[in-house]
Amino acid sequence: MEVTAVATQGGYGSSNWVTSYLLMFSDGGRNWKQYRREESIWGFPGNTNADSVVHYKLQPPFEARFLRFLPLTWNPKGRIGMRIEVYGCAYRSEMVHFDGKSSLLYTFNQKSMNPTKEVISLKFKTRENNGILLHREGPNGKHITLELVKGKLILFLNSGDANLPSPDALMLGSLLDDQHWHSVLIELLDTDVNFTVDTHTHHFRAKGESSYVDLDYKISFGGIPRHRKSVAFPHKNFHGCFENLCYNGVDIIDLSKKHKPQVLIMGNVSFSCSHPQTVPMTFLSSRSYLALPGTSGEDRVSAIFQFRTWNRAGLLLTSQFQHRSGAFILVLNDGKLKLSLSQPGHPVRDVTAGCPDNSSDPGCASPLNGFQGCLRLISIGDKAVDPISIQQGALGSYRDLQIDTCGLTDRCLPSYCEHGGECSQSWDTFSCNCAHTGYTGATCHSSVYEQSCEAHRHRGNSSGLYYIDSDGSGPLGPSLVYCNMTDTAWTSVQHNGSHLVSVKSSNGESPQPVFFKYTASMDQLQAIIDYVDHCQQKLTFHCKKSRLSTPHDGTPVSWWVGRTNETHTYWGGSLPDAQKCTCGLEGNCIDSQYYCNCDADRNEWTSNTVVLSHKKHLPVTQVVMRDSGRPHSEVAYTLGPLLCSGDNSFWNSASFNTETSYLHFPTFRGELSADVSFFFKTTAFSGVFVENLGITDFIRLELRAPAEVTFSFDVGNGPCEVTVQSPTPFNDNRWHHVRAERNVKEASLQVDQLPRETQTAPADGHARLQLNSQLFVGGTASRQRGFLGCIRSLRLNGLALDLEERATMTPGVEPGCPGHCSSYGHLCRNGGRCREKRRGIECDCTFSAYDGPFCENEISAYFGAGSSVIYDFQHINDTFSKNSSSFVALFHEDLTLTGEMTTLSFRTTGMPSLLLYVSSFYEEYLSVILAPNGSLQIRYKLNRHREPDVFNFGFKNLADGQLHQVKINREAAVVFVEVNQNARRQVILSSGTEFNAVKSLTLGTILGPPGADRDTQRAGALGFTGCLSAVRFGPAAPLKAALRPGGPARVTVRGHVAAASRCAEGAGPGAPAPEATRPLSGRSGSTDEGTPLVNANRSDSAVIGGVIAVVIFILLCITAIAVRIYQQRWLYEKNESNIPKTGDNAETALKSELNMQSTVSESQKEYFF
C-alpha cells in the first residue's frame, strides 16, 4: 500500500506512552529502511500523555508491505505503550525481473507519438551497482541511455553533433543498489530535459539545436540487445526488478505479460520480483563490533563479506590462528585495504589494495579509527552467517550494531555546497571545498568579492581590474571589471570588439552584423546595471556615402540591438523616441537638414559620436549597418566599453528616529542558507536591527549592549545565539558593518574586522528555517526594543532592500543618513579634507600636495637645468603694492608663522642642489639643499640680524638617483626632521621662533637671494635637475598650483618644467620617462623666461597687441638677457673662489649630469646659455 500518514496514542488509561520513535518500512520483511521527515531528521516526536493523538502527514508518502515502529524514548514514570493507526491507499504494481542477460525491446506506433514531448517513468531495485536500465538510438550516433554506475544513475544524452566533444551526462542518486525501490522520471521536451530520481530533480538544456524526441521508434529496457550493442556501450545489462514501467502512459510490463507484438522479450524475464533479500547490518560507532566463532580445528581463516562506508579508515577484521601461531588484521587505512600478517619469528607481511599511492585526496591522510558503515553477505569458511541468528543471540556477540538495515546515508545528496563547491563526507558530517569558486564559508555561500566598484572605492582601493559580485551570495558568479576611481567610481565592462570594425558589402549582399560578447554574462550585466545610478556606452561612426536612415521617409537602414535582443534606431542620449544623433539633439550637424552627419550622404569621410545612456537598453550587443552596398560607400565604427557609475544599494539608508518606528518588507526566504549584511551607526545602547518570525522559528539581529551584537535564531532545534563582543563600544556614531550567516552546517557573525564567531549546527537536527511574518527592519513586531540610528546597504541573501523608498512612506523613519566622514574620513590622505555628500564622501585636496579621489596621487614635475617654479604668497591689489612699507606691514601682519609643516620628495644626481627656498620681506628664509657631498642641509634664518641656523643631516649621499622623502615640522624653535620615514632628528633654533612676512617659495634655480648665506646662493645658482613631488609648505602646494589650474595662487614657471606621473617611475636617475612627462609649456604656449602664470595656465592673449607687443617683448628680452649674463658671470666668479678642493669629484659629477640634461631639447640648451 501507499502510506500517507501515521498517528499514535499512549496505552489506554495508563502512564505508558512513547515520546519519540523511528519509523521503518520494507516490502519483504527484511532489509528495513528508515523514513526521514526532513533531510536530516530521523525521529518522530511522540505523545506527551496517554490519550491525545499525534498525527503526522508523510511528505513524501512511500510504498511498503511492512512497517516497524521503534520506540526511542518513553515516559520515565511508565513503560512503552503505543496505539498506532496507519493511513494510506491501495497501490497497483506491475513488476518484471531481469537476470542480467535479458531485456525488453519496445516498438511504438509512429502515429501515436507526441512529437514534442516524451515521458518515461519506472521504479527499480537491485543489489548490483552497475547496469543499463534503458537505451534508445537515433541517426548519426544520437542516443539516450540511462545507466546505473557505482550505485548512481547517469543519463547520457548524445545529440549526434560531431562538433560537440562528448555526450552530456546527468548524474543523480546515490547508494541506489540497496535493494530498495527507487523512482525514475525522464521528461524530454525538444532540447529540454527534466531528470528526477526519488525526490531530486535535475533541469537541463542540452547542447546544440538537435531535438531528443526525433529518435528511432524502438527503445530497450534492462539492457541493449546484442545486435545493437556498440563499442561505446560494453557495459552489462541490468540485474534486478522494474515496477510500473511506462512510456508516454503505455504500461510496458502489461504489454509484455500479454505477449503483445509491440514488445520483444529477450532472455529470461519473469513478472515477479523474486530477488533474494539480504540482511545488512550497521556499525553505528567506532566502538561497534561483531565477534563470530572461527573454523575450529583448522590453522587457517577464510572470510567473505561486502562493506560500504564513507570513512577512509577503520578496522574491518581481525583473527588469530590456532595455537597462537599467527594473526592477521584487515584495516581500511587512508582509503586503502591493508592486510597485515604476523607469525612468530617472522616479520609482518602487508598486502594492500585500493587508493593509489599518488592520490591527492586529503582523505587519504585520515587517522585510523573504528569502522563505521554497513556489512552484508558475511561468510566464515564455507558457511554463510545469518544476521537474524546474531540478532536473536544464537550466534556470536556484538555491540552498537543495527541489524537488518543499512543506516548509511549520503550527506552530499542533495549537496548543500553552493556555487560549485565540492562536497565530501564521513559517517556523521560533510564538508565543502570552496577553492577556486570565489565563495567562502561552511557551504561556500558567501562571496569573497565586493558588490561593486563603489564598495572597492570606499575601501581605499585605487583604479584597476577587480572582481565584483553584484548579487553577493545569489546564483550569479563574480565578474571581472575595470574600476576607474575618480570622484565617483566607474565600472567598465569590456567586450570582444573594441577595435575599429569596417563594414563593406561584397557581391551586393548585406554585410554580416558583428555580435559583441562581454566579459560578463547578460545576467551579470543586468545585475550590475540594476544596482547603478547611470550607464552609458560610446559609439563612434565613420561614414562615407553611407547613411543611417533613408532621406525620403526616414526609414532606418542601420540600427543596434540591446541587452534583451530588442532593436533600437535612436543614436544619442537617453531618449529612445528621438531618432537623432547627438549633433541633431544639439543642433550642430554639418548639414542642418539632417539629424546625423552620416545622413548628409557626402562623398567624404564624416563621423558621428553618440553616447547611449538609456540603461534599460544597454549594453549594445549588435550593430547593423545596411547602407554600405552602394558604389563608393564605406562605413566603420567603434563601440566603447559599458561604463556605469554609482551604486544605489551601497548608500541606500534610512534613519530611525523613534523606538516604535520600523520598516517592513516581505517574508525573508532563507530556508537552508540565509545571510544578512548591513551597516549601522547609532548612539543608543541597544536596539533590534532585523527580525522575522515564524510559528516557532525566528531570526533576529540586535545590538544587545553598547559593545555587543547578537545573532539569534531557531530552526526547530531550540534557540541559538552567536555574539560578537568588542573592546570598544559600537554606539560611537560611526558606521559598523555586520554580516550574519546561517546554514545547515553552522551559524556565524562578524562585525567590522573583529574575529568571526561561529556555532556549529547539530548533525541530525532540523535544517529548514520556516518564517511566515513580515520582515521588520529597525524594530520588532511588538514595537519594543526598536533601533535608534541609521541602517545602510541592507542585503538578504545578496538581494538589496530599498530602505529609502520604503522610508518615504513610513512615519518616524527618514530616507538617507548624514555623517559619512566620521567613518570614511580616514580615506582622505595627505592633508585632504573630507566633504559630505548625500551618498558618500568626497575628498577636498585643495590644501594637499596630492590630488585624486583620495588625495593619493602625487603631483610630480621634472626640472631641467636652470628651471624653476616660484610660488608668490602675496594676495593684494596691484595699486596697494606701490607703497612698499604699507605692503610689508600688512603682509607681516597676515603671515607670521609660529610653525609650519614642510614636505617634499625628490630624485636627483646633482649636487649641490637647491630643493626648496622660502623667502620673506624681512630677509628671513628657509632653505633645503643638498651639500656638495650629497648630504641634506636645512637652514633657518628667522632673524635678519642673526646668522642662520645650519643643520647638516649626514644620513648618506641623497643625490644617488633614488627617491627620497623629507618632512620638516617646526613648532616655534623646535624642528623635527624625518628622512625616508625612518631617520628622525630634533633640533633647536637659536635665530628665532617666528617666520615673518613670508614672500615666496622657490623650487629650482634662484639667483642672488637677498640675505642668503653663500652655500644657499651657490646651490640656488645651480638650481635643481631631477624630479620633485609632493611639495608642501604649510597650506601652499607650489607644484599643484603650477600643474593643476583652479586655485587663486600666482605662480611663475621658468625654463623646462614637465609634469611627470611619479618620481619613482622615472627612466633613470634624475631623468624623466618620456611617456610619463608632459612639458608645462605644452599646455600654455611658449615658455618665455620670467612670464608669470596665473593658476599655471598661460594665455595667448598677448598676441592681440600685434606688432607693438612683439617690439616691446623683444626689447624686454634683450634687457633681461644682458642682466642675466652679468649676474651669472658675477655669481660664477664668486662661487668658484669658495669651492673647496674636496669638491672636485662632486663638480665632475655635476658637470656630467648637466651635460646629460642639456641634450633633452635644443630649446633647453639655448635657454640655459
Grid look-up 657631498 returns: 933
- Cα(35)–Cα(966) distance, integer angstroms: 76
- Cα(1015)–Cα(915) distance, integer angstroms: 13
Cα distances (angstroms) measured from residue 667 to each of 47, 656, 672, 687, 773: 32, 21, 15, 21, 6
| Helix, strand or coil, per DSSP, at residue 272 | coil
Cα angle 158, 163, 168 (rounded to 5 degrees) comes to: 30
Question: Which pTM does this prediction carry?
Answer: 0.77
Of all helices (H) and strands (E), which one includes residue 584?
A: helix 582-586
The pLDDT value recorded for residue 358 is 47
The residue type of 468 is I
The residue type of 774 is Q
DSSP bridge pairs for 685: none
| Helix, strand or coil, per DSSP, at residue 1050 | strand
- Residue among 1026, 1037, 996, 1012 at smallest CA distance from 917: 1012
| CB atoms closer than 10 angstroms to residue 1035 | 11
Task: Give, as one character, the DSSP assignment of residue 730.
Answer: S
Q: Do 1102 and 1109 contact (CB within 8 A), yes or no?
A: yes
Q: Do 511 and 503 contact (CB within 8 A), yes or no?
A: yes
Chain segment 421-471, per-residue pLDDT in tens: 999 999 888 999 999 999 999 999 999 999 999 999 888 888 999 999 999
- Cα(975)–Cα(511) distance, integer angstroms: 74
- Cα(857)–Cα(1076) distance, integer angstroms: 14
> Which grid coordinates are listed for 1100?
595667448
DSSP string, 478-534: -EEEEEEESSSEEEEE-BTT-SPEEE--BTTBPPPPEEP-BSS-HHHHHHHHHT-SE
Phi and psi at residue 1144, to the nearest 5°:
-60, -45
Cα distances (angstroms) measured from residue 805 to each of 206, 535, 653: 42, 21, 10
- Cα(1065)–Cα(573) distance, integer angstroms: 40
Q: Do 583 and 596 contact (CB within 8 A), yes or no?
A: yes
| Helix, strand or coil, per DSSP, at residue 600 | helix
Q: Do 478 and 449 contact (CB within 8 A), yes or no?
A: yes
Of all helices (H) and strands (E), which one includes residue 936?
A: strand 936-941
The pLDDT value recorded for residue 139 is 74
- Cα(445)–Cα(677) distance, integer angstroms: 13
> Which grid coordinates are listed for 657?
528616529
> Which grid coordinates are listed for 1120?
633681461
Q: Do 927 and 1012 contact (CB within 8 A), yes or no?
A: yes
HSE-CB at 316 with a 13 A cutoff on CA atoms is 25
Strands (E), 715-856: 720-725, 736-742, 746-751, 757-760, 775-777, 789-796, 799-800, 813-815, 833-837, 840-844, 850-851
- Cα(963)–Cα(980) distance, integer angstroms: 9
Cα distances (angstroms) measured from residue 787 to each of 96, 656, 723: 66, 7, 18
Grid look-up 554497513 returns: 374
**CB proximity list for 8: less than 8 A, separation 6 or greater:** 18, 21, 46, 47, 53, 54, 69, 82, 83, 84, 85
DSSP string, 67-125: EEEEEEEE-TTS----EEEEEEE-----EEEEESS-EEEEE--STT--SSEEEEEEEEE
Grid look-up 638650481 returns: 1023
Q: Do 244 and 93 contact (CB within 8 A), yes or no?
A: yes
Q: With b meaning 16 or more CB within 10 Å and e meaning fewer, what string describes 795-833?
A: bbbbebbbbbebbeebebbbbbbeebbbbbbebbebbbe
The residue type of 45 is P
- Residue among 1162, 913, 1166 at smallest CA distance from 1026: 913
- Cα(1066)–Cα(428) distance, integer angstroms: 62
> Which grid coordinates are listed for 461?
582601493
Q: Do 184 and 197 contact (CB within 8 A), yes or no?
A: yes
> Which grid coordinates are listed for 801?
532592500
DSSP bridge pairs for 1052: 870, 1092
Q: Do 70 and 208 contact (CB within 8 A), yes or no?
A: no
Residues of the chain with pLDDT under 50: 231, 348-367, 875-893, 1067-1078, 1081-1107, 1110, 1126-1169
Grid look-up 663638480 returns: 1147
- Cα(317)–Cα(444) distance, integer angstroms: 38
Polymer length of the chain: 1169
The residue type of 207 is K
Q: Do 100 and 131 contact (CB within 8 A), yes or no?
A: yes
Q: Do 910 and 864 contact (CB within 8 A), yes or no?
A: no
Q: Specify the pairing of strand 303-308 against strand 314-320.
A: unpaired
| Helix, strand or coil, per DSSP, at residue 387 | helix
- How far, in whole angstroms, is CA 25 from its chain's centroid? 47
Strands (E), 942-1085: 949-953, 964-971, 974-979, 983-988, 998-1004, 1026-1033, 1050-1054, 1057-1060, 1077-1079
Of all helices (H) and strands (E), which one includes residue 1148?
A: helix 1144-1157
- Residue among 245, 254, 261, 11 at smallest CA distance from 125: 245
